[in-house]
Amino acid sequence: MKKTMNGAVLLSLAALIAKILSAVYRVPFQNIVGNTGFYVYQQVYPIYGIGMTIALTGLPVFLSKLIAEQKNKEQQVNTLKRVFVVLSIFSLLLFSLLFFGSSWIAKGMGDIQLIPIIQSVSWLFLLIPLLTTTRGYFQGTFSMMPTAISQVVEQVIRVAVILLAAIMYQSLNWDVYKMGTVAMSSAWIAGLAASLVLGIALLRKKPTDEESSSQLAIPLEKISYSTLTKRLMTEGVAICLLSALLILLQLVDSFTLYKGLTYSGMSSQLAKNAKGVYDRGQPLIQLGMIVATAFSTTLLPVLSRAFSEKKEIEFIRSASSMVRITATFSLAATTGLIVLMPYINQLLFGDRSGIGVLRVYMIAIMLASLIGTYNAILQSQNHHYLTIGALLIGLLTKWFVNNWLIIKFGTIGASLATVLSLGLILFVIQLGLPHTLKKEAAKNRIVLKLVSLSLIMAIVVGIATTVAENWFFNGGNRLEAFTLTLIGVAIGVTVFSYGLFRLDVLTIREWLSLPFGKKIVRK
């Protein structure tokens, strides 16, 4: 458990750096290109997001489970080679679909000028086999550092290219679509950089793996291509779909939100502007889910091993602890972002447009975080069809409800549809969880304590920031918004941390499993 937590923290740190970069670049980017330019970029962003989810979290998590099941080094290498072949065919098909079907996709989004941007991002999918197999191998052998470094390098390169595109847009008077095409080329350029980092790490790891030769007495069992393809299309697809859950919901928005707004009578320019404001919520949700996502990513190999070795008590304890820790951090992040949304919105994007829309959108953090953890638990038990079914129910709900809610309520309708679909997915997935796990995870009245603590934190932070804004600030610039955000975060962390101890929300074992947990418990 300790090793799992340390791996989670390493990936959390890498994800934190990457998401900070992702949030920071959006500030100058959105200021330079405006809400319309932001709309153009964000319309195609879900396609990039799906590709990166496959290459960074989805398939590497599936492969880490596959690698953990192998008995020795030779079996691991043989499995990876076969996975690489299957993924190469898969990625070539995806590339062809996007590149040659770009006009059909752009028409579906209601904006034919998006064609070159879709084609630009399609090249990323050719890098999926290399990115996926190397990351899956390292995570399956509990070596999280290469994945973490490649993730940071990838984001640094990508952000640099995007900001360069924005600067050239302004200085050379490009239109927003040409800017979007160049900005989206950052996807495959950054992917090449990450591939280089992972390749170097793989070459350096080879000499140290010779100790596994002592295990070669075990007969080599080669997994067949048919078995591998079947598992990839069930387990792999299930993990990828759940990992890309929010991105898929955003993809639905790309096909329905802009068209729904214009259908309701809004002008094309105003609809693009409104969609750009709505899209501000996406980096905030990603930021709020960092810790929970990293825990789910590192959890699967450990749970798979405990389940395969029939260590039921260890499995239930580890899984329930992960559920409780995920619920704690995700609820704190959700509450904090909702309360501080006016200041965070102004700090990052220069104004307070769409506060209500974004506040509703933030509820997705807690729902999606719990879905990710529950999905990891079910995947470790080889329960794939329930999660796929839950996801399909959620996506269909989003698709059918989105248009009606958008026409009736505008962009806040899209936020409501996202929260509703995530709630349904969570409800369905919970039905498949073992009763003993649900009972263990809910012990010590954790739900009541967390809800009470979050309400107290929200009230205290809300009063403190409101008083500070009215008494000491005029409330009109980013520096003041930054100061108020810091005040709110400091008070919120203090109140929530104090409440965790006073209410005994987490057990001593759970505290000790966290990094620095021993020091915290002593104090």
What is the C-alpha separation between 402 and 104, in angstroms, rounded? 21
Q: Domain for residue 392, yes or no? A: no
Beta carbons of 164 and 28 less than 8 angstroms apart: no
Q: Domain for residue 117, yes or no? A: yes
Beta carbons of 341 and 277 less than 8 angstroms apart: no
Q: Domain for residue 479, yes or no? A: no
* pTM of the entire predicted model: 0.78
AA identity, residue 247: I
Q: Domain for residue 195, yes or no? A: yes
Domain that holds residue 163: 1-205
Helices (H), 113-185: 115-122, 128-140, 145-172, 176-184
Q: Is 131 exposed, middle or buried (0-12, 13-18, 19+ CB in 10 A)?
A: buried
Beta carbons of 371 and 419 less than 8 angstroms apart: no
Q: Domain for residue 348, yes or no? A: no
Looking at the structure of the chain, the number of domains it has is: 1
Q: Domain for residue 330, yes or no? A: no
* pLDDT for position 209: 47
Beta carbons of 62 and 240 less than 8 angstroms apart: yes
CA distances from 310 to 55, 72, 307, 401, 451 (A): 31, 20, 5, 43, 35
DSSP secondary structure, 224-288, as one string:
PHHHHHHHIIIIIHHHHHHHTHHHHHHHHHHHHHHHHHHHTT--HHHHHHHHHHHTTHHHHHHHH
* pLDDT for position 401: 93
Mean pLDDT per 10-residue run, the chain (523 residues)?
58 70 76 86 89 76 72 73 85 93 92 93 91 78 78 90 92 90 92 90 63 45 72 75 82 91 89 90 79 57 64 73 83 93 88 91 92 78 76 92 92 95 91 75 80 94 92 78 93 90 75 65 72
* pLDDT for position 220: 47
Q: Domain for residue 507, yes or no? A: no
Q: Domain for residue 143, yes or no? A: yes
As a whole number of Å, the end-to-end CA separation of the chain is 22
